[in-house]
Each structure stands twice: as structure tokens, then as C-alpha cells.
Structure 1
Amino acid sequence: MKIVTEFPFSITEQEDMGIVLSDGCRLSARVWRAEGAGPVPAVLEYIPYRKRDGTLPRDEMMHAYVAGHGYACVRVDMRGNGDSEGLMSDEYTIQELADACEVIEWLAAQDWCNGSVGMMGKSWGGFNCLQTAFLQPPALKAVVSVCSTTDRFADDIHYKGGCLLGENFGWGAVMLSYSSRPADPLLRPDWRADWLTRLENEPWLAPRWAEMQEKNDYWKHGSVSEDYARMTVPVLSWGGWADNYMNTVAHLVENVPAPVQGIVGPWVHQYPHTAVPGPAIGFLQVALRWWDRWLKGIDNGAENDPAYRAYMIHSEAPDASAKHRKGHWVAESAWPSPRVGRQILALGERSGEGQPSPVPTTRALGANVALHKPVRINTPQHLGMHTGEFFPMGLNAEMPGDQASDDALSVCFDGAVLAEPLDLLGAARLSLTLASDQPLSFVVARLCDVAPDGSSVRIAHGMLNLCHRDSMEAPAPMPVGQAVDVAFNIDQMAYRLAAGHHLRLALSTTYWPFLWPSPRPATLTVTVGSLDLPVHQGSENEWTPPEPEGATPWAHKVLRPGKTSRKIETDMISGTTALVISDDLGDVENLVHGLCTGESMTELWEIHPDDPLSARAVHTWEQRQSRGDWSVRTNAWAEMTATATHLRLKASLTAWEGDTKIFERHFDDEVSRKFV
């Protein structure tokens, strides 16, 4: 990345600007402003991740850069987080979004703001800038949303295709830890009393989310897909193929009536100027072009840029820690693209000891095709260990690895070896006629690129909780033994399979730890099936993005380096298989204000191949803060197990001031298994 130190405007910074809301709650904002530019547009980033330490390294490189081009960049800690007052009860609440609208109104009224406000963010911040745009506050003129969703039930960390994600539990543990930290005493003299109040009111959210196993009003709140017509604010949406929010960009570009554009690269869950796998690109320059057009009214033609730009990944060896992916940029003037046609592959079977083998045959558009004989799918519970994280953050083997071992446990359908490359752009759709021997069951589909050496790269995956076969709002158990027709989308993709490779569809009834297992092993009997593929006509590189740039990195000293490990372990006595993760981020000191911070985490995901009720997840998080003689520490512990009828989610939160334990609380919740 190129570090930029000279900008069109010099920058002034305020580390703690108070924004007092109508109910008296004071939010803390860090503000970078262009000096000598007169009233300028404001760009708001509004998240719970602590501007004083949590996101500070990326904030300083982004917000100073944008401010130096004639903006006021305002980074606000949400109510109940960081250095802001108040309490946070959940994610994307009515209170959170009302606060956002009030902050926007406040910013627009400042004498240093020209009345136009933009909103940006990644993940939580990407979510709430879309959700705030949905509410149409008058001063909000444009948003830049990165790694977000339009549908909180279908495409977030809780459920996917109606299946309960392991990350629902994992994210509950994360937030229990993240929100347990106090404000900085240098900014909040009342930090201790405020901290104790936070700890006493800290919610354990995983059971609340797990209890709502259908798309109800809770999930519809904050889902802009409920009424795209309300999206009248221009949107620039970003996603990454290595992230599980890759569907949002296409959904927005296809459905939002306001000016909207989307860009999807090869990246994990990070901003595109710092993300892996490369190539990283000049996210800040592209964002500035958007801000200049919609916040400053500069006629720069940004609205005429391609509607959908996607990095088409090329075949290469699987790598769970890939630093770079080969590929090229495709630029579509409209989405859906007229350059994408549909190709139907019928699912077939080879004879031979009753073992299904992959032989799809290319057919004209038409109905599903019956298999030569029924195919039964009943996969072991530990299948999925090479799936990777829901939202990988970096290079610690968090992306999908070689799928060959999981393929060997799956029922696979293989296409013919390609004589020439095959370009796929969009979402595939799988249609099946199947019966289940259990009322609660799911099916997982993985599209894979299989090389001549047998290695397998996951292109995209999709899944369906069969209770949701007809409706996400009104699920119903499967009628045991009765054949039903189901269809679901596999995730969006942009991928070129090389000549000599072949396409594989792998089906399974398990996907641990990405999905929490069904209460009993299920056998699915498939009699009819087809795969509808989005085939692109082919292209060369159609966009050359700017190279990544950023402002001066933060001044810090590493006090203790971090260390990470990720292992798959098999207990040869008990027979359990476990994914074991240890991520110690070390400790660092901020050389500007002297705050020392550190974080450590462990995860255990274990299961027996024959027993879904053996599934167990245990997470621990430690947060550390100190300066001089002052030090605090919190520890969050969480465990999830299950019986045939209930999910059990336990947790504890402990806090220390110095060496003295000042707080301890335990949680123990059971949730009925209605549809999972």
C-alpha cells in the first residue's frame, strides 16, 4: 500500500467530540476535518468496536485520508460502547438506528458541515448504514457499505438457508467479550461506575438469536430487502468472495431504485485496500469518487461507472491462507447481465456397487431429470472441517482449504473434463426431489473446481434447512418418507475453471462446524435433480482499479507479539474430531495516548462422526487494557451443547481491576429445537 502524507487540505483532529442526544446520552466521536475548506460534507462511521483502540489502526489510515480531500470524517462509538455513554441491548435495535438518524441531523447542523452527510462502514457499520438509509433521514445523501447484508435472517451470522450457523454461538461469545471493556479513563472520569453498569447489563445474545428459528419481525427489522423501494439514497456496495456476505452486492444492484453500484473482489472480511487475498485495490479513491459525486455534487461521471464489477477468480491450487488469487475484473453495465446465460446440468449416476458418482449431462433448458436410481445421502458428522470461517479476517488458514477430504465423505456429481475454460458469474440454483427419514434435516451443496491432481477448490456453497422448503416465515417439519420438491440458490460467484479441470457438485447432510447438526442423523433419498448454472460468455480484464492508498499508520509499539494456531485433531480413544483454534493477538501500546491493549481467544469445535448430539463448542476470550498503574481485564467463556429437544448455551463473564476480581456473572439458557 502507498502511504500518502500530503493532501489537498491539512487536517485537524479532535479525539473526543461529544454528541449529546435528545435523551441526554453523550456519544463520543473522533473527528478529522479538512482545514481551510469551509463547510464540507461529513462522512459518518458508526459502530460498537471502540475507536480508542479496537478500530484505531484502520481508522487513522482511512478517515485522515478522506478528510484530507475536503471532508469531515466522524467516527462515533455507538451507545454503550467504547467512550460513549448508555447501554447496548442487541444489534441493529430501534434505539441504535434512531441514534444514527439523530447523529446525522446533528452533523448536518454544525457550522463546519455543508448539510450533506454520507455514511460508511464494514460489517456492523455496513449493515447500519443500509438500515439508516432505509429510514431516509433528510441529510443522508449517500452510503458506502462493505461486507453487509440485505436480509438479516437469510444472509447473516445467525441462519443461512434456515440452517443454524455455528457462528450464531460464536458471535454471541465475541460480543459478550467486546462489549465488556470500559471507557478510557483519560476521556471518562466516570469510567469505573460506567463499566460496572455495563457489566451488570451485558446481554448474552446467542440464546435470543437461536430461539427465533423462523423469519419473524425481529429478523425483518433492519432487513432492507423487506422494501427495496425505500432505498432512495445512492449506495456503493462492496463484497468479497472469501467472505460470506458476497450475495449482498448483487441483491442491491438488482433491486435498489436509487443510484447503486457494486464491487466484489477476492477478499476476506476486510476493507478492500487492506484485504487478502490480493489484489487489494484503491478503495479510498473509489469511495472518494462516490462522495464527490453525491455529497459535493461534482459532475465526475461516477453515476455512469459499471453497475457491477466483479473479480473473476481463476483456477489454481487450494490454499486456506492465500495471499493472492489469480483472476481478472469483469465490468457489467447492468445486473442481471445480458452476457450471462443459463445452463442446466441434470444430475446422473454411474453404476458400481451402489455408490453414487458424479456424471451430470448437459441438457437444454427444461425440467429436472430423474436419476438412474435413487441416491441416498447420509454423511458423517465431522464433514466440513475444511470449510473455513463464516467471515475470515486474514491469513490464519481461515479460508476454505482443499475440499478433497470433505468431497470423499460427500455424494458427488462431476462434470466432464473441460476442453476449454468455463466462466461462471452469478448464483447457481439447485433443484431436487427428495425424501427425508427425519423431520429435522438439511442439505448442503458445494460447487467445487477439481484439478487433474484431484485437489478441490470450493467455488461457492449453499444450504437449505428442509423445514424451510416452502417458507422462511412459516417453516414446518419434513413429512418423513414423503418425496418433496425443493430448490435453493448457491451463493454468488465469479469463477473461471481452467481447461483440464472439471466442475463438481458435492452434497451432504452435515457441515460441521459451519452448521449446527440436526438432532438425529438424517438420510435423504434424492430421485430427481438438476443444477442451473450462470455461464458468462467470457471476457478479458475490463477494469483496472487504482492501487491501494492510505494515510500514515498509527504510532504504536509491540509489547508482546501474537501467535495463532489452527488444528484438526482426532481423539483415537473417544473417536471425536475437533477443530482447535488459538489466537493470541499479543499486546501493543499506543504511542500517542499511552493505552496498552491485548486480546486472546481460543475455540474448540468437537463432534463424533456418528453422533450429532456429541457436538460441543467452547470459546474463551480475554481482553486487556492498561496504562501506568491502571489495568483492567475481562474474560468471557461460552459453551454450546444440545440434546434431541433443546440447545443449551452457557456463558460467564468475569472482570478484574488490577488483580482484584470485581465482577462475575453466569448465564445458562435452554432453547427448544423447533426447526433446527
Structure 2
Amino acid sequence: MYGIKNTLKKLTFSFLVIAGVAGCTAQITQPTNSPQKETAQAAAYEFTLEYETLEMKDGVKLAVTFYRPVAKKPGETFPALIEMVPYRKDDFFALSDYGYGAYFAKNGYVVARVDVRGTGGSDGPVPVSEYSAAEISDAEQIIDQLSKKEWSNGNVGMYGLSWSAFNSLMTAHRKPPALKAIIAAHGSIDLFYNDVHYNSGALTLDYYSHQISTDNALPQSPDYRIDETYFKNRFDKKPWIFTWMREQQDSEFWRQESIKFKEPLSVPAYVIGGLLDGYRDFVLDVKQHSTAPVIAEIGPWNHAWPEYGAPGPNYEWRQRALRWWDYWLKGVENNVLDEPRWMAFMRTGQPPTADPAIVPGYWRCEKNWPVQGSTVQRLYPQTQQKLTGAPTSKTTSDSLKYVAGAGMAAGGWWGEQTGDMSTDDRNSLVYDSAPLTQAMEIMGNPLVHLRVAADAPFYQWSVRLEDVAPDGTVSLVSGVSINPSQRHSRLSPQALTPGEPATLTAPIHFTTWRFKPGHRIRLAISNAQFPMLWPSPTPGTTRLILGKNTWFELPVVPTRDATDATCPLPAPEPSDEAPFGKTLEDTGTVFTRQRDDEKGESTFTTTSSVVWTQYDNEFRSAESYEWHVKDASPANAHFKGKRRNTFTIDGVKIDLLGEIKVESDATHFDVTFTKTLHKDGTLIREKTWIERIPRRFQ
């Protein structure tokens, strides 16, 4: 690794290292005087790290790190757990991967952490896009190969968070014989409507779209060689954002690997979501799109595993994961399928706050979904900003001026921790219920049905469900964006006819919430959710037509006392820390919102930086992004950003900078992406891509 000859020499006094020439294998056992060694001795198995490659049918070799238990008796075999992502196992993810690999290896599982072809340490060119057919085919081949290893018992599982949740679900759909079960956290079965690029069909320019293409341009680990093969396969490859920007409508491009449009899933799945994560709908999606057993859990946190996700409360999910794997991969008879298969955290109506450590609420364990005793309550917006249980007797309408820069209080994606939503509500139509006389708990996807009209062919609608406290503060419960061009068909979009009424229907993103007595339920409707959604191009006015065709429904569940519904959950366990490196600095993501009402301008920025070491090498990564729009000219919004990765490997400094700018007008997007590579301060290569892409219903 990392200039492997020098690295192995440096490790002589702290590691027993066995470097295998065939297969390019390095085995590392932990030193006898390390705390990790003591932990491993106390567990069932010690383990080794092995750096190998697996060759695919087309000759491409994929880099894999094995966390392999040391057999206690001759001929002992183990199941394999695969996680395959492009996030560079040898540098970006080496430290965080270690805790999970160590945990499962010490409990009798071989963990295979694989870099997607064309990324990290794997050979081949960068794939054409995420979740390519080649990637999923590789996963099938890896499963087959590992099931036939001399150390294997023939059974394989896939697992992961985000990208590796996606490809675990996609691979499971193909039903490779050795794949017996999966664990997926924060994934999706619908790549157009429920992913980071088009939020419910509306363009979302998240910083990920720039981040991934910058990182894909880094040299291949562990040698970080800069040569013509590197330029051809990585640096000179056109960034993925150009492909995503051209694919502005649902199509076969998005549906090729989206299992929502395929036969139900038949591989058992343990799925985990978070109420503050953009992918939280997938938990219920998988539950409803599966014929195999599914265990589903949804906590109060963000895009993270349950033992550390913020905010808490947290629990140790890996204990249940072991029992899940034991049942499906080792044939251990336990009661994992006899326990409640649906668990969700019921938020009990916290006041608006941007950074709570713990969310007030309690865990609800249910035998299955839907929750027994569930009902639906329909509410209708009325004149004078009221919300009642019956439609208005006379059809009327409320007008809404489009304010393109509104929406920053809700953050960059539905579900982030938010402060008081009153600032967003000032540029919205709001409808409030009477104060509740008794508590109401909801769990599921509220449904909204709107009758609207507009003065231009295209606007977007943003719908937010909120909680208004007696003191007037407003908490965000959940929301949804609606692209009206897809109201009849996602595959065949149609423009609005100015002045002509249209009906829009959409499920609000999955949520849980207790509305307390004295609180009011609020429905807030606007035509902007900046910067989450790219602003629609025409300043003007829309109308909400009140009456029997404008309503929304709440998924009400029986209210419980927290002491009656508490689920017994183990406390988080500390993870083993990688003995070969540490994080020196991590700022997290810092958000800044600037709104000038007088000028009608909105600017949203994010910054982050991280520094870490592995062996004697130092790694730095920093990024900054900005979204900007003027209310008077919403067509001319922009997004720009920089990401710099500086890796110092055996004293050689590799500096890769990625810069992006997306500007729009009424008819097109202008996208510019530049990669710049320096080595020890000398410019090695610079390449810029520029493309003007027609704007289609975005």
C-alpha cells in the first residue's frame, strides 16, 4: 500500500507483515501490545487484513481488502460479506471501513471491501455512470468467486450505506445463487424520483454531483502512478454531471437498474433509514416491493449508521445484524424473524432547532407494516388560511407570487435539521388547523392533492407539513417537491396550459410526528425550495384552487405512551480504530444562508474540510459550494464549487482540483467543469469540459 515497499519497511516493528507476490496480497495482523489486539483476543476470532485483486470475465482486476477471521480449527469455513463502492478504500474510506470490517471479522465473517471498477484501487476506466450494468455484473461475479474460495462456506451477503445499499438491492434483484441476504441503509429503488439528482422529478444540484467526479479523477491506489493509462482511464474522462444534466426526465437510463420497475425482491433484506435522510422513503418501498422477509428500522438521524447518526438516540444495530447474518448465512436457528419486523422512532414534537443532540420521542416496535389500527385523516385548505375536515362549499382560489429564493430554512435536502420555518412560510400559502384538543401521532407518507393554475407553462410546487406551537414557532415535519410536467406521466411530460386548472398529487416524504394538544397542523405551499430545487425560469403567479379537489391526508396511528411502546435496544458499542492512521481535523459541513429581501437575492453556501494520516502519508480534502438566485430573474441562477484533494504519498504531493459552474437561462443550462492536476507544485495537466444543455421541464 501507498508506495508499498517503503510502507512495509516502516511497519516492521509494529506489524507482522506477509507480502504475497501472487495476487498482490499483503496480510497484516495486529501488534501484540495494541488495544485492538486485546479486543480481538476477547472476541471469537482474530483476523488479518489481506489486499488482493479479483479478476472479472473481461480481464479487469478489482481491488479488494479482505478482513479475514483466523480459523480456530483445520478446515473451518466462513460466510462472506461484500461491500462495493467507488469511495476509495485505500485512502478516503480506509479509516472508517476498518471498524465495520473488524467487527464482523471478529464474529466469524470474511468481509470483502471492493472498489468499483475504474475507481480507487481497481483497474479499468471510470464507468459511464453510477450503478452501471458492468458494476452490477461485477457484483454477481464477485459473489460467485467468493462462494467458491477455500475458506468459504458457500454463502454470501451484501451490505452497505448509500451507494452500496443501492447496488446491494440491484444485485439482489438478479438473484445470484450464493447471495442469501442483504443489509441496506439509505438506498433507493427508484433512481429518478428518489436519488440525489432529481428530487421527486425536480432538478437538485447537490454538491455530490461535483464531488464524485473530482474524486474519480484521482490516480489509482496504492501506487498513485501518473501516466498515460491514468489520464486515459480517469483524468480525461468526462464528468458524470454532464450525463445527469442531459437526462432531465425519467427514462430507461434511470430505470435500467431501478428495481421499483422490476419484479418484487426475493432476497431477504434488513433495511435501515433515517427521518433526516433524503432516502428515507426507500425503507417502506422495499417493504412493499418484496416477497422475502424484510426487517425495517427508521431512526431520527441523518445519512449514517444507527450507532452514530445525528441526532440520537442511537443504538447498536450490528448486534441484530449478526443475528440476521447468522440466520441466513450460517444456518443458526435464532428468533430474529420472530421479533417485530417494523421499528420507527416516533418524534414527539420537538421545537425548531438546528442542532439537537437528542430528539425527544420513543421507539415504536410493530409486528409489521401497516401499523395495526392505522387510519387516514383528510384535511382541506380553506379561505382565511384555515385547515378543516371538510371542503369549502364555494370554489375559490388563493394567489401566490413566485419568490425564487425562498426555501432556505428547509436546507439542502428534505429532512435536514431545521430551525423555525416562519421565514419560508412568509413566501408561501399557509393553512392552519384549529389547536388540537388531544395528541395525534402520524407514521407514514402523508398524501397531498392540489388543484392549481399558473400564468406560465412551468412552475414547481413545494409542499411542507409543519407543526405550529402555541408560541408561534414552526417546526418542519416533512415535505415534498412536485414537478407538474409529470402530472400525467413521468415518461411523457407535458407543460401546463397557462390559466387552465391542473391536478397535482404526490406522497410527502415518510415521517413520524406527534402533534401535541394546543399545537396546530400547518400545510405550507410555495413554488420554490431553494437551493434544494433549481429555480423555475419565469417570474409570475400561481393559484391554489380551494374546494373538494384540494386536500391532504395524514397517516394516523394509535397514540401510545412511551413506556408501553419502548423497544429494548442495545447501547452503541465503540468501534475498533484503524491502527495505521487517524483523523487530524474534520470540520463537518458548515451551512450559510444569506437572504437580502430588499434586493430579492438568496445565496446558500457550504464548506467542509478533513485531514487524516495513514502510516506516514497525509491526506487533505476541502470543498466549498455556492448556490445563488435573484427573484427578479429566476432563470439566471447559478451553482459553483471547488473541491481540492491533496495527497502526500512517500513525500510526493499530488494535488487535484475540481471546479464546477452551472448557469442557466430560460432555455439552457451552461455547464463548465475543470480538472487541474499538480505534482510537487508543478502543473501536470488541466482539462475543461463545457456543454450547453437544453432545459426540459426543469
Q: Which residue of 2 aligns with 1:22?
A: 57
2:100 matches 1:62: yes
Q: Deviations over 1:221-245 (max 9, x none)?
A: 111111242x111011110000011
Candidates 308, 324, 328, aligned match of 2:362: 328
CA shift at 1:263, angstroms? Answer: 0.5
Task: Give the Å deviation of 1:569.
Answer: 2.5
SS in 1 for 2:376: strand
Q: Which residue of 1 aligns with 2:413?
A: 390
- Contact persistence 2:405–2:600 (CA under 8 A): no
**1:369 Cα shift?**
5.0
- In the superposition, the TM-score normalised over structure 1's length comes to 0.92
Q: Using the TM superposition, give the Cα deviation of residue 33 of structure 1 relative to its aligned residue in structure 2, in angstroms.
A: 1.4
SS of aligned partner of 2:696: coil
Q: How does 1:113-512 map to 2 (within 5 A)?
A: 113-167=152-206, 170-184=207-221, 187-188=222-223, 190=225, 192-229=227-264, 231-350=265-384, 357=385, 359-363=386-390, 373-390=396-413, 399-512=417-530
Note closer, same or farther for the CA distance 1:281–1:193 as it changes in structure 2 (3 Å cut): farther
1:39 matched to which residue of 2? 77
Query: Per the alignment, do residues 189 and 519 of structure 1 end up closer, same or farther by CA in structure 2, a change over 3 Å counting?
Result: closer
Partner of 2:592: 567
Structure 1 CA distance, aligned partners of 2:522 and 2:680? 56
Tell me, in whole angstroms, the C-alpha distance in 1 between the residues paired with 2:123 and 2:54.
10
Task: Name 2:11's counterpart in structure 1.
Answer: none
Aligned to 2:139, which of 100, 120, 125?
100
Range 6-15 or range 490-499, more displaced: 6-15
Amino acid corresponding to residue 274 of structure 2 in structure 1: G
Counterpart residue number, 2:30: none
With over 3 angstroms needed to count, the CA separation of the structure-2 counterparts of 1:296 and 1:434, relative to structure 1, is same
Q: Secondary structure at the match of 2:271?
A: strand
In 2, Cα distance between the equivalents of 1:572 and 1:331? 46
Equivalent position of 1:662 in the other structure: 684
Counterparts of 2:205 and 2:122 in 1: how far apart (Å)? 31
C-alpha distance in 2 between matches for 1:277 and 1:271:
11
**Counterparts of 1:251 and 1:329 in 2: how far apart (Å)?**
21
Secondary structure of the 1:303 match is: coil
Q: 2:637 aligns with which of 615, 627, 630?
A: 615
Counterpart among 96, 118, 122 of residue 80 in structure 1 = 118
**Per-residue displacement from partner, 1:518-572 (whole Å, max 9, x unpaired)?**
1112422122311111011112334122111243112435556647643223469
1:583 aligned onto 2:608: yes
Alpha-carbon spacing, 1:178–1:7, altered in 2? closer, same or farther (3 Å): farther
After superposing the two structures, state which structure 1 stretch, 2-11 or 399-408, moved more. 2-11
Matched residue SS, 1:225: helix
- CA displacement at 1:338 relative to structure 2: 2.9
Identity %, equivalent residues: 27
**Do 1:7 and 1:68's aligned partners in 2 also have CA atoms closer than 8 Å?**
no
Contact in 1 for aligned 2:270/2:294 (Cα 8 Å):
yes
Among 549, 560, 566, the alignment partner of 2:573 is 549
Name the residue aligned to 1:354: none
Tell me whether 567-576 or 647-656 shows the greater mean CA deviation. Answer: 567-576
- CA distance in 1 between counterparts of 2:552 and 2:199 reads 19
Aligned in 2, Cα 1:606/1:272: closer, same or farther, shift over 3 Å? same
- Give 1:403 deviation, angstroms: 1.0
Q: Distance in 1 between matches of 2:247 and 2:419?
A: 32
Q: Indicate the larger mover: 2-11 or 574-583.
A: 2-11
CA contact (8 A) 1:31 1:72 kept: yes
Shift of 1:116: 0.4
For 2:41 and 2:513, locate their aligned partners in 1 and report how far apart those are by CA, in whole Å.
39
Count of residue pairs brought into register by the alignment: 651
Worse-matched range after superposition: 92-101 or 20-29? 20-29
What one-letter code is carried by the residue in structure 1 that aligns with 2:544? V
Post-superposition offset of 1:191: 5.9
The question of whether the paired residues in 2 share the 8 Å contact of 1:347 and 1:371 is answered with: no
Answer yes or no: is 1:535 the counterpart of 2:527.
Answer: no
Contact 2:280 2:509 in 1 (8 A): yes
Q: In structure 2, do the counterparts of structure 1 residues 9 and 595 end up closer, same or farther at CA, with 3 Å as the change threshold?
A: farther
Aligned to 1:613, the other structure's residue is in SS state helix
Separation of aligned partners in 1, 2:48 and 2:102:
9
SS at match of 1:61: helix
Distance 1:361 1:306, change over 3 A: same
Q: 1:227 to 1:417 in 2, by over 3 A?
A: same
Give the secondary structure class of the aligned counterpart of 1:409: coil
- CA deviations on 1:375-406 (whole Å, 9 max, x unpaired) are 112231111112223388xxxxx633321110
Separation (CA, whole Å) in 2 of partners of 1:559 and 1:462: 38
Q: Secondary structure at 2:410's aligned position in 1?
A: coil
- CA deviation after TM superposition for structure 1 residue 674, in Å: 1.9
Q: Verify the 8 A CA contact 1:207 1:670 in the aligned structure 2.
A: no
C-alpha separation in 2, matches of 1:76 and 1:573? 52
In structure 2, how many angstroms separate the alpha carbons of the residues matched to 1:570 and 1:427? 31
TM-score for both structures, normalised by structure 2? 0.90
Higher relative contact order (CA 8 A, sep 6+): 1
Tell me how far apart the structure 2 counterparts of residues 661 and 391 of structure 1 sit (CA, whole Å).
41
CA distance in 1, matches of 2:394, 2:408: 29
2: CA distance between counterparts of 1:639 and 1:370?
Answer: 50
Partner of 2:8: none
The change in CA–CA distance for 1:550 and 1:99 in structure 2 (over 3 A counts) is: farther
Distance in 2 separating the partners of 1:465 and 1:428: 18
Instruction: Name the aligned partner's letter for residue 240 of structure 2.
Output: L
Amino acid at match of 2:191: R
- Report if aligned partners of 1:424, 1:534 keep a CA contact under 8 Å in 2: yes
Q: Equivalent of 2:149, from 110, 117, 120?
A: 110
Contact map agreement 1:382 1:608 (CA 8 A) in 2: yes
Letter in 2 for 1:10: Y
Does the C-alpha gap of structure 1 residues 8 and 343 become closer, same or farther in structure 2, counting only changes over 3 Å? same
> In 2 relative to 1, CA 10–399 (structure 1 residues): closer, same or farther, beyond 3 Å?
same
1:44 offset after TM fit, Å? 0.3
Any idea what SS the aligned residue of 1:470 has? coil
Counterpart residue number, 1:646: 668
Distance in 1 separating the partners of 2:125 and 2:576? 33
Partners in 2 of 1:655 and 1:252 — Cα distance?
42
Structure 1 letter corresponding to 2:63:
S
CA contact (8 A) 1:268 1:391 kept: no
Question: CA 1:78/1:237 → structure 2, altered by over 3 Å: closer, same or farther?
Answer: same
Aligned residues of 1:279 and 1:324 also touching (Cα < 8 A): yes
The 1-side partners of 2:597 and 2:605 are apart by: 16
Equivalent position amino acid for 1:272 in 2: P
Moved more, 88-97 or 477-486: 477-486
8 Å CA contact retained: 2:219, 2:225: no
SS at match of 2:266: coil
C-alpha displacement of 1:266: 0.5
Deviation string for 1:635-656 (max 9, x for gaps)?
1111111111111211111111
Distance 1:5 1:402, change over 3 A: farther
CA spacing shift, 1:131–1:534, aligned 2, 3 Å: same
Aligned equivalents of 1:74, 1:249: Cα separation in 2 = 25
Unaligned 5+ segments in structure 1 are 351-356, 393-397
CA RMSD after TM alignment: 2.1
